[in-house]
Structure 1
Amino acid sequence: MNSYDSFISNKRAVIPPSGFNVDRDELHGSLFDFQRDLVRWALRRGRAAIFAGTGLGKTRMQIEWAMNVHRLTGGDVLLLAPLAVAAQTVREGAELGYEITMCRSQDDVRSGLNIANYEMLHKFEPVLFDGVVLDESSILKSFTGKLRTELIESFAFTPYRLACTATPAPNDYMEIGNHAEFLGVMGRSEMLSMFFVHDGGETQKWRLKGHAEESFWRWVASWGVVLEKPSDLGYTDDGYNLPPLTITDHVIEVDGEPAKTLSERQRARRETVEQRVATCAEIVNVTDRPFLVWCDLNVESETLAAAIPGAVEVKGSDKAAHKEQAMLDFAAGKIRVLVTKPSIAGFGMNWQHCAEMAFVGLSDSFEQVFQAVRRCYRFGQTQPVNVTMITSSREGATAENIKRKEADFRKMVAEMVQYTKDITSESIRRADRDVAEYEPQRPIVIPTWLRSERCAV
């Protein structure tokens, strides 16, 4: 290898660990092998991200991680989560034998583990915490958002940081960059300049440099782990095989030409609310099974709640307490039919008790639809899941577009896992402590004046 190649090799962007070692046998016995090894890896890293498919137990892993940080430091750890997910996490912590304090401000904080909704962040003093966990950390996706900036700046000096979310879209480089910046690994701008070239005038169009693809994913794997199922890292998938998922298009024929533009689709949705709501109510009212109904417009939500006996509506203007209680009551089986929007309840909730859902209004956001389906279709679901997408003939190929985007997403995730699995599998399973790589390029020369007469040449 010539001197230039050696120089480039030594510039590898692999981040050394800043955490501590915990024996895997000291971690909670209820964790599966892959969960225990992921927690141990994240503790050793000190600042890490776990990008894992829905239902792989991210909540238990992040609770165990937080408890071990507390045990080591004796300090407090703050977990941040979406609305209603916080209460769900408190219950899961209790199942592990850990007390997690639900907080609305710094005054509520107790020694140990504390949890709050993201909306409450401004009422806390981040500098007082030794560790922080971001649950559903895809909230960092908005690279211009006020909350994203507040999270990064507030915890810039927190020693231990963990971000947990579902697998990101592999071409959503901004989300990956925001995670790296939150963890203190590398600034987003530095990441872009190191691995990417800019295409065109739009600020979000970045393309991986042709020679940098392998280096980029090796860098990601040095601080983040990506898996859709345990076997992606060489573990068994026993207990993690999902039942069938059936997505049915229910297209209502109405007068008028199919929409060609976004504004035409939106107008078609507003003008066909009555027909789509009637179709959905007919489907929901003939069964007594739990049912989740997703909407896109307020008028859809209001009309559906009136058309389905016993349905509970959760809308954006509701008070936080009502939203939270309704979502928890649905999880507990106290509510049979929940009507809401993916933007309100599409992230974080575990609703495996429900296997029936309908979309009465489809947004053009693949991520929202994908996450909404995964509230029920996730590991732990034992029943076949049926999803009905109700559209009018005027709305165009919205459902088909969603399916096409999911197929593209699956293909890209498989490629991302392929790039990182060997690196992360080796790192996670390694028993010895990680150390920063150092390859000396020249022998040490001891100055004459430091040599004793015995060692002088």
Structure 2
Amino acid sequence: MQLAKADGFDVAPDDINPAGAPHCKAIVRWALKGGCRAIFASFGLHKTFMQIELMRLIGRFAPGLRLIVIPLGVRHEFMAEADERFTGDCAVRLKFIRSNAEIDGDDAIYLTNYETILAGKIDLSRFIAATLDDGVMDTGQALTRFFQRNSEKAGDLTLFPHKEDEFWLWVHSWAVFLQSPADLGFPDDGYVLPELTVNWHEVPIDHSTAGYDRDGQGLLIRNTALGVTQASAAKRDSLPARIARMAELIAEDPDAHRVLWHDLEDERRAIEAAVPGVRSIYGSQSLELNEAAAIGFKDGRFKDLATKPEMSGAGNNFQKHCHWAIFVGIGFKFHDFIQAVHRIVRFGQHHACRIDIIYSEAEREVRRNLEGKWVEHDRLMARMAEIIRKYGLDGLPLDDVLSRSIGVARRVEKGEAFHIAHNDAVLEAQATASESVGEIITSIPFSNHYEYTASYNDFGHTDDNGHFWRQMDFLTPELLRILKPGRLACIHVKDRVLFGSVTGQGVPTVSPFHAEAIFHYLKHGFQYVGMITIATDVVKENNQTYRLTYSEMMKDATKMGVGCPEYVLLFRRPQSDLSRGYADEPVVHDKPLVIAADGSHERWTDGDRRAQVPDSGYTLARWQLDAHAFWPSSGDRLLTTDELVRLGPKPLRALFQKLSEDAIYDFQMHVKLGEELAARDALSKTYMTLDPPSKDGGIWTDVVRMRTLNGEQAFQNLEKHVCPLQFDIVDRLIDRYSNKGDVIYDPFGGLMTVPYRAILKGRRGQASELSETYFRDGLRYCQKAEAKMAVPSMFDLLGIEADLEAAE
């Protein structure tokens, strides 16, 4: 893990504006010394002062253009702060700009909005320093080191429980989370949050308007858990009831000042119709009108302000005249919600605060979601406060707390059909006999995309692709040495999506990791003999990354790439006799058996037309698919759209694939079918309903992505592998490129999927794994597979070939 470096400069305490509170002065010195730091201070702890002071001191000691980027409608807060606290020798000039043309020298601290930056109207390269007010950071390495990803939804990340402590300590190396000045040892006089009362108000909803689900089934009641579309419909239908409840609440204290939070424009218009004298902030307003409304409400010039959390939930301080907020509706965005709450619930508030939240009975799940996130938010804030109280700003002994191991104590476990080691991949390969492995099947780490263990031996503990391949330079020669001459190394890889916000390219791009892998293995003496493409679901990929969205395609098609398939790269160790094409020990397939006239079985020969025994050997048809990648057409037709739509999305998907394999592909018909499905709201947005068909044997479209050992891990509540290898891939490679009894080797064993499947396929499995947890679980799977092979099933005793996996 790369820890934050201190590459700023130091200032003396007397250099800092004396108008700042003690905790502000300490944090300003810490941030300047670090050079690149994050300040997560609680609401009302003077983050605005700290930002201005940071820019003032940078201008004094390292002159140049300085920029503060702020949300819409909050520049008045910075202007007021400068007038109040930056006077005399500490006076500053703040200037708000919307373009490069308005920059007039480096004696000012410039302010601008995020929208201006995103529109490219300001050249950021001209500035030597910047702060982001309520900004969003690059998640960078944190996502791959500490978080497990929801494979069905982009941005839905869960912190690995076993890495929680390490994560928060790592964050503390570059960020400060401050809940109170007392966390840093300063007096908290005047910094006590007000008492807060939260009232939930449920209103009824007309369930007769619940509508239909995606399959056309009528709904008895609304259920927002079905999705955002259902939630939006429920909000529209409950609007009159929610507005009526809001009016009842206002009538309890008509003269009080209130913020009326809402999400929809229809809600704003309904609020304006129901509340005399209300002022509103909304998106189509000019920036000047937006700020005039915010300043007027802040100064107590009118009683009621209607606005959205996404418009006014960040940066505005409304606590001077207001201590009551009514949420006329609720939504899924907790960040916006909690920011809106703290526009009044903050330090400097002298009254007890009241929050009223109105929702419909169909939104109970949304309420539970918000309450759960609120509890988790408070827990995490308390955790960070605990860390800063213990270590202070610069006291964290990171070398000790985040120490990494180098090497492991080698542990070997053996069975009749497996040999696995808890060891570094390079060291274990070096200990393996030359020319002893019949086939290598592995999914190599995808550069630094994942870090599997807290060890410097972990191949995921690399800085970038170049660093990763330099580490692989130690392993790949050993793999070539231990592989039998003429045999194959099957390397599973996938290209990586690089987000524009990280690369600075502005659009998502793709790192051609599979191409780098090809040239890496060629460099070390392998022969490249081909690539198998494993088709993936582009809709599910988009749900993970949001880089292929239909809405963005409509705005600018040049941003639209294609989905990222997976690949199995096929590399061959050259055979000893280069004058002949055969491996030193060829992989031999038996021809299928045919049924003789007397009922006995004989091996098939060319031209033999007798009935073949199913699954008794390698057939001519199979060879044609493997070698020539050709699937003959049956000439059957596609069903009509009406016939297909009535099946529903999931049966339709399976049928479409089957029919497409047998028919001549028609792109226009494919598009037309999808369009007619969409018109009937039967085109799934969570998975690919009509996968593009492929008749190429080199493209595998039917890999069952859920068939991994992670299913067993989840069932037993054990840690899941972050990048599991599917059974289908391993089984096909074993069947195609190895003989019975061969050693199948995986240097990155993980949960030992490769040796596990090798045992079940009548081979011997061998692997190494650095993670003790994965090794322990993988050992159990290998023992399980070996026991299964040793004990005949009832079907075996009856002479019936059983499907081992179906019986599991």
Query: Normalised by the size of structure 1, how large is the TM-score?
Result: 0.75
Aligned to 1:248: 199
Q: Out of 59, 63, 66, which is 2:48 matched to?
A: 59
Q: Is the 8 A contact 1:79 1:133 kept in 2?
A: yes
Aligned to 2:98: 104
What is the CA–CA distance in structure 1 between the aligned matches of 2:20 and 2:116, rounded to whole Å? 30
Alignment pair present for 1:403 and 2:371: yes
Q: How does 1:26-425 map to 2 (within 5 A)?
A: 26-95=15-84, 96-97=86-87, 98-109=92-103, 110=105, 111-121=107-117, 122-138=120-136, 140=137, 177-178=138-139, 188=140, 190-195=141-146, 200=151, 204=155, 212-256=163-207, 259-261=222-224, 262=227, 263-285=229-251, 286-353=253-320, 354-425=322-393
Cα 1:394–1:211 change in 2 (3 A) is closer
What is the CA–CA distance in structure 2 between the aligned matches of 1:402 and 1:89, rounded to whole Å? 31
How far apart are residue 54 of structure 1 and its match?
1.2
Cα 1:389–1:198 change in 2 (3 A) is closer
How far apart are residue 362 of structure 1 and its match?
0.8
What is the CA–CA distance in structure 2 between the aligned matches of 1:212 and 1:297, rounded to whole Å? 39
User: Larger Rg: 1 or 2?
Assistant: 2
Q: Deviations over 1:106-131 (max 9, x none)?
A: 22224231111111222222222121
How far apart are residue 219 of structure 1 and its match?
2.6
What amino acid is the match of 1:408?
E
Q: Is the 8 A contact 2:148 2:158 kept in 1?
A: yes
What is the CA–CA distance in structure 1 between the aligned matches of 2:280 and 2:53, rounded to whole Å? 34
Cα 1:360–1:383 change in 2 (3 A) is same
What is the CA–CA distance in structure 1 between the aligned matches of 2:163 and 2:332, rounded to whole Å? 32
How far apart are residue 92 of structure 1 and its match?
0.8
Greater CA drift, 94-103 or 27-36: 94-103
Cα 1:44–1:408 change in 2 (3 A) is same
Q: Out of 7, 19, 29, which is 1:18 matched to?
A: 7
What is the CA–CA distance in structure 1 between the aligned matches of 2:130 and 2:53, rounded to whole Å? 13
How far apart are residue 81 of structure 1 and its match?
0.2
How far apart are residue 202 of structure 1 and its match?
5.3
Aligned to 1:5: none
How far apart are residue 259 of structure 1 and its match?
3.2
Pairs aligned (count):
371
What is the CA–CA distance in structure 2 between the aligned matches of 1:220 and 1:375, rounded to whole Å? 26
Q: Deviations over 1:354-396 (max 9, x none)?
A: 1111011111221111111111111111111111112233432
Q: Is the 8 A contact 1:248 1:389 kept in 2?
A: yes
Q: Is the 8 A contact 1:21 1:43 kept in 2?
A: yes
Aligned to 1:160: none
What amino acid is the match of 1:417?
A
Secondary structure of the corresponding residue to residue 55 of structure 1 = coil
What is the CA–CA distance in structure 1 between the aligned matches of 2:150 and 2:367, rounded to whole Å? 30
Q: Is the 8 A contact 1:39 1:65 kept in 2?
A: yes
Secondary structure of the corresponding residue to residue 223 of structure 2 = coil
Secondary structure of the corresponding residue to residue 412 of structure 1 = helix
Query: Normalised by the size of structure 2, how large is the TM-score?
Result: 0.43
Aligned to 2:556: none
> RMSD over aligned Cα, in angstroms?
2.5
Secondary structure of the corresponding residue to residue 331 of structure 2 = coil
What is the CA–CA distance in structure 1 between the aligned matches of 2:142 and 2:262, rounded to whole Å? 37
How far apart are residue 252 of structure 1 and its match?
2.7
What is the CA–CA distance in structure 2 between the aligned matches of 1:258 and 1:410, rounded to whole Å? 33
How far apart are residue 57 of structure 1 and its match?
0.7
Q: Is the 8 A contact 2:55 2:66 kept in 1?
A: yes
Secondary structure of the corresponding residue to residue 137 of structure 1 = coil
How far apart are residue 234 of structure 1 and its match?
2.7
Greater CA drift, 306-315 or 98-107: 98-107
Cα 1:16–1:269 change in 2 (3 A) is closer
What is the CA–CA distance in structure 1 between the aligned matches of 2:57 and 2:71, rounded to whole Å? 23
How far apart are residue 215 of structure 1 and its match?
3.9
Secondary structure of the corresponding residue to residue 393 of structure 2 = helix
For structure 1, the residue ranges without an aligned partner over 5 or more in a row are 1-11, 141-176, 179-187, 431-457
Query: Which structure has the higher relative contact order (CA within 8 Å, separation 6+)?
Result: 1
What is the CA–CA distance in structure 2 between the aligned matches of 1:205 and 1:325, rounded to whole Å? 37
